[in-house]
Amino acid sequence: MPPTSGTLPPDRRLVLVRHGATVWNAEGRFTTRTDVELSPAGREQAEAAGKGLAGIAFDRVICSPLQRARATGETIAAAAPSAPPVTVDERLREIDAGPFEGLTGAEIEAGPMAEEFHRWRSETDPTWPDGAETYESAAARARSFFDDVRDLPGTTVAATHGSLARVLVTAVILGISPTLHRRMWLDHCHCAVVALDEAPPRLTALNVAARNIGV
């Protein structure tokens, strides 16, 4: 099958959207399981994403249960002329940072968990302290989610979290080690786009503003 033209969207695609910013994000704190709401800046980002995606025909919005992602997904859906349904999926929850939750990198480096922190972030041989979710676990639920949506018709927008979205891209779409997700980045309310018309699926955009995805 020839590649899809760059001027036309695929018939089926998945748009991963990182949620808008929170106060903890602004402070550089690990924000995973804690249900922190969007900051005023984050709400503005979600509204801008909704406007940016309003011209794109998408069929459904699926979001993480955490309110920062849920509010982002609901805002995007509310701006769409088609009023797509919004559902919550636990598999889109952020990867749990365990004992590092709520701390900044500087606070961890200056404390008793500095060595554990470096082992956790290793690309070659990571280890997980008690309470932290393993990449194997995160990649498994990301793959389970992807397998359930990949054959749905049209476009699915998934409002999720930065680390989970990047692990989905590395481990599921690109088939590489999820440890490499740290070499990628996804800004708040920016998108990763996966075309689903062909096998294997293709990553067509990463860290792109919603308004720049195209129609």
Gap between the Cα atoms of 194 and 4, Å rounded: 12
Q: What angle do CA 122, 127, 133 make, to 5 degrees?
A: 105
- Measured CA to CA, the distance from residue 119 to residue 125 in angstroms comes to 7
- Would you state the structure tokens that stand for residue 166, as one six-digit string? 């990047």
Cα–Cα dist 103/31, whole Å: 8
Sequence-distant (6+) residues with CB within 8 A of 73 are 17, 61, 62, 63, 64, 86, 157, 158, 159
For residue 118, how many other CB atoms are within 10 A of its CB? 13
Question: Which residue is catalytic, options 94, 161, 188, 190?
Answer: 94
Q: Catalytic site residue 19?
A: yes
Task: Identify which of 137, 197, 126 has the alpha carbon closest to the alpha carbon of residue 167.
Answer: 137
Of 131, 119, 129, 130, the residue nearest 179 (C-alpha): 119
Tokens 């041989």 belong to residue: 125
Strand order in the sheet with 13-18: 86-88, 60-63, 155-160, 13-18, 190-195, 202-209
From the list 19, 161, 181, 188, the catalytic residue is 19
Give the catalytic positions in this structure.
19, 94
